[in-house]
Amino acid sequence: MPLRVHPAPAPALRSVHAALGSLTGPGGGLARCGPSAGTGAVRPELPLPLHVLDGITSSSGPPATRLAGWRFLLCDTHGPLGAAEAKPTADGWAFSHFCEGPFVASTEKALRRAEALPTTYQPRLLSVPELYMLTLWLHSDTEADAADGTPAPADLLVPLAPAPPGIAAHRPQRVDGLLPLMSRRLVPSPLLGTPA
């Protein structure tokens, strides 16, 4: 089923367009967005709200999420070649940075696979800084405000590659199954022995 992609805030999109404009060369293409920059006009596509999951091992309740920005895949005629992020500020939205690397291709791959699922979801990105992990968060409430919310137990998380050891990349997992696994990854192993 198709994903229900919510539009990014207009000021966030404008900030990315302005940043892209500062990198545009005379041919109308992006002068540089990493070594993989292709030919043709670069355009921001697939806006995804980027949420951060903090405190997954906290004993004071469920982990908290917060909106950290919006990420746009930067595409030319050959497909994605990078990403751009806009972040919230006291005055609205501002361009944050360009990025490239394995998460860009992994995001596109996860989105394509998610479109083949039998249920419609609202796609988001969920960063887990404690594990240096990024996931595609498939939120089951497709009408929810994309800037708010916490992963529901039945929502799906798709770890993007590279995923932490012991967590399979690109395999959709329910939040209530993956969250305990992520928490265990952060709990220190008990000492095998103590000095006498």
Instruction: Pick from 29-38, 44-53, 72-81, 175-184 the range whose average pLDDT is largest.
Output: 44-53
Q: What pLDDT is stored for residue 41 in this prediction? A: 86
* Cα Dmax for the chain: 72
* 78-117 pLDDT tens trace: 888 999 999 999 989 999 999 999 999 999 999 999 999 9
> pLDDT, tens digit, for every residue of 139-169?
999 999 999 988 998 899 999 999 998 899 9
pLDDT-derived band at 186, boundaries 50, 70, 90: confident
Paired strand residues for 123: 138
Q: Say if CB 13 and CB 74 are below 8 A apart.
A: no
- Look at 50-54, 63-67, 140-144 and tell me which has the smallest mean pLDDT: 63-67
pLDDT higher than threshold 60 for residue 27: no
pLDDT of residue 64: 79
d(CA 150, CA 164): 22
User: Which of the two residues, 185 and 171, has the higher pLDDT score?
Assistant: 171
Most confident of 50-59, 119-128, 147-156: 119-128
- 53 pairs with which residues across the strands? 65
Is the per-residue pLDDT at 25 higher than 80?
no
Mean pLDDT of the chain: 85
Give kind and range of the element (H or E) at residue 180. helix 175-186
pLDDT band at 22 (very low <50, low <70, confident <90, very high): confident
